[in-house]
Amino acid sequence: MSLKPPVVWCVGGSDSSAHAGLQADLRSGQDLACHVQTIVTCVTAQNSKQVRLVEPVSLLMFNEQWQTLLDDIPPDAIKVSLLPSAELVLACSTWLKRMKADYPNLLVVFDPVMAASSESGNRLQQTSAGMSLLDHILPYVDVITPNLMEFELLTGISGEQGLTELQDSLNTQFSLSTCHWLLKGGHGSSEQATDWLIDKTATIGFSTPRLNVHNTRGTGCTLSTALASFISHGYDLLDAVTMAKAYITGALKSGVKIGTGAGPLGRPGWPLQIENLPEILLPETKEQSYIRAFPAIPAEEIGLYPVVDSVAWLKLVLENGVKTAQLRIKDASAKGLAADIQQAIDLGNQYHARVFINDYWRLAIQYDAYGVHLGQEDLSTANLSEIRKAGLALGISTHGYYEIARAQSIQPSYIALGHIFPTQTKDMPSQPQGLKRLAQYARLLEGHYPTVAIGGIDAERVQPVVQTGVDSVALVTAITKAIDPEAATQSLLTLFAEEKLARNEREAFH
């Protein structure tokens, strides 16, 4: 029996050319393993060149579509786009208010369609738009996705001003709103197409090279529906935006020539191509792409990867054959911290092993460590240039697509993926990733960066974790809480090697 796919409700117009509108929503949702249900706001007569006629549905029909769907099954996410009349704006506002009250965790994406993206530029939105539209819809929206033209028409704020000024303007004008603004940069003229996610406290850029392609119809529809689809699969907003941006890049690359005007986007499937991931831009940390990568580690050489909290534990695992390990001392004020780190590095040299020092990058540089491992919170404070200049390898923890994209721009020696299962050693702000997502991450990074799975992995879970395609498995309590740690270490080394061999043989057979 197959699992029920997430259900996404798409509210918008029917496009007779099937290049955009609800037809594009249906294709995108299906491509991303969602079941899209539609609430039609209008029927349009359009082709690849022009929008000839827009005819709104009656208020009775609009309301009946909402109620009929709701009588059967609620959605996992809602995407709202074309609202062609004032009465439908008011009705949609009423329904969204009700849905938000009844389903507080339901997220709503709003793509404020103001005009067709065809050469004709015929306006689709027939309401007075602007502030009246936002007054009624914005209070019930979690993410709004305007391009620069739509943003200025809706808000009267210029999208060309600096990011700080833009954020201040939004905070002033929409002080009561908790909505995130995803300001799309696809219509700009720079070499990069950067979308900026702006809320009251942060501004994050998602940047990809601008593509010189002709078949671009339905870009806005596809992005917002992809965003709603990933949200419906349970991804948080930063992951969902990262994935939607990667999906759009793949869709633009695979556009189809249908008609004499601009054709529709392609449907590239789940975003598993690392070259389509956006670069993450964080203005406050001045992060940018690095030309030179950190030292490479052959993926097949990392092996089993214990993470231990003392020099004594490190010595034990190295004595029993481990070739990659991490010293993670949580208390920065611990007595003898520097001496412990120096001793750990000496043990690594003694046993010809790769010993990574967690967090304490200055001491790692001082005592000439093999490598440093950093969490996401450390990336904004650590001096990555100094670590690279010292020749140290670098591992980075990630917890989803957004953090993988951020790590990729740094070009680390390996990327850790976690936490896979609930952990005993650390309180985590995110939910466990699980095996399905782990397999997607491993496929995304295969051949580009070695991958290390971490979090709640014991002896019974090594086999299914290895079969996802990751290169290495990090263990903590499977060794440190074992009755016989030496025997557990040796047994886990053997188990890991056997499972890697079995996986390689299966891959070679297929």
Annotated binding residues for Mg(2+): 359, 378
Q: Which long-range contacts (CB under 8 A, 24 or more apart) does 159-166 make?
A: 159/183, 163/196, 163/198, 163/203, 163/283, 164/203, 166/196, 166/198, 166/203
Comparing CA positions, the residue from 226, 266, 264 lying closest to residue 244 is 226
Tokens representing 270 are 């789940």
d(CA 326, CA 247): 35
86: three-class secondary structure by DSSP: helix
| Binding-site residues from annotation | 326-330, 358-359, 378, 397, 423-426, 456, 476-477
First-to-last alpha carbon distance for the chain, in angstroms, is 26
**Which residue is listed with tokens 């070679």?**
508
Beta bridge partners of 73: none
**Cα angle: 36, vertex 42, 44; to 5 degrees:** 100
DSSP bridge pairs for 12: 40
Q: Measuring CA to CA, which residue among 20, 68, 485 is closest to residue 255?
A: 20
Distances (CA, A) of 155 to 139, 170, 367: 15, 9, 55
Written as six digits, the tokens of 411 are 């070009």
What's the CA gap between 315 and 294, in Å, rounded? Answer: 26
Task: Say whether 441 sits in a helix, a strand or coil.
Answer: helix
Integer Cα distance of 65 and 439 in angstroms: 38
Q: How far apart are CA 360 and CA 364, in angstroms?
A: 6
Name 323's bridge partners.
none
Beta-strand ranges (E) seen in 288-338 are: 304-308, 324-327
